[in-house]
Amino acid sequence: TAGITQAPTSQILAAGRSMTLRCTQDMRHNAMYWYRQDLGLGLRLIHYSNTAGTTGKGEVPDGYSVSRANTDDFPLTLASAVPSQTSVYFCASSANRNQPQHFGDGTRLSIL
Amino acid sequence: DQQVKQNSPSLSVQEGRISILNCDYTNSMFDYFLWYKKYPAEGPTFLISISSIKDKNEDGRFTVFLNKSAKHLSLHIVPSQPGDSAVYFCAATGTSGTYKYIFGTGTRLKVLA
């Protein structure tokens, strides 16, 4: 059972470069989410999508963009990476409102 | 402004005893609460949830209690097992609004054999 697949698993990126983190789900869930996890701050929502074709901003959206062209894919793009974006990024999905989220195993991103 | 707070960063419990993890929230619009467990190098895994129409939900060794007047929820694990050692996150959302979930900062539970 695949569930949520994130790629890459880890990446080192030079500041100023762009990067797209990939996320694919095979559960046909309507909603998808991107979080970052930082020590002492827990999981913070970056962007979300309630359904294909729509996206919304979370708590910390600056410096990130997303798209939801179809149900399965929800890529996260850093247009010009900065060191403060060093973090572990988790993608998640849920069937609908009031449903638990399923998480991928994360992408560990280091910006130098 | 932390809307969901887990004030204990860590907790150690002897195997077989009860583990109690606490979570407080400030937003009165939250009406659905969840607990997740996270092992190192893995994504969080859903554990148990509770709607605000209930004050208790039980699933095997795991029970979540909700005190709406105090804006407080707790997760009880009985009996605790070494495999329960993980970071536990509580999360909250308002079901009449957007799909946004707000997570706490997590509590690292260590169950000692």
Q: What is the pLDDT of residues B22-80, one digit of tens each?
A: 999 999 989 999 999 999 989 999 999 999 999 999 999 999 999 999 999 999 999 99
CA proximity to B102, closest of A55, A51, A86, A48? A48
Q: CA of B87: which chain A residue's CA is closest?
A: A42
**Cβ–Cβ of B99/A44 closer than 8 Å?**
no
How does residue B83 score in pLDDT terms, banded at 50, 70 and 90?
very high
Provide CB contacts within 8 A for A62, sequence distance 6+: none
User: Which band of pLDDT confidence, cut at 50, 70 and 90, is reported for residue A1?
Assistant: low
Q: Side-chain half-sphere of B75: how many Cα atoms within 13 Å?
A: 30
Q: Is-contact B113 B82, C-beta < 8 A?
A: yes
Q: Which of A48, A98, A100 sits opposite B95 (nearest CB)?
A: A98
Contact call for B43 and A103, based on CB within 8 A: yes
Do A58 and B89 lie within an 8 Å CB cutoff?
Answer: no
Inform me whether the C-beta atom of residue A92 falls under 8 Å from chain B C-beta atoms.
yes
Residue A85 sits at φ, ψ, to 5 deg, of -90, 5
The SS3 call for residue B101 is coil
Mean pLDDT of A41-64: 93
From chain A, the residues in CB contact with B32 under 8 A are 98
Q: Is the pLDDT of residue B100 over 90?
A: no
**Would an 8 Å CB–CB cutoff place A40 in contact with chain B?**
yes
Quote the tokens at residue A97: 């409102």
Contact flag B41-A105 (C-beta cutoff 8 Å): yes
**Which backbone phi and psi does A81 adopt, to 5 degrees?**
-65, 145
B32 vs A: CB within 8 A: yes
Choose the mutation target among B3, B89, B99, B100 for the interface with A, i.e. most A CBs under 10 Å: B99
| Residues within 8 A of A (CB atoms), B 73-92 only | 89, 91
Q: Which chain A residue has its CA at the smallest distance from B47's CA?
A: A100
For range A56-64, the mean pLDDT:
94
With beta carbons under 8 A apart, name residues in chain A contacting B45.
103
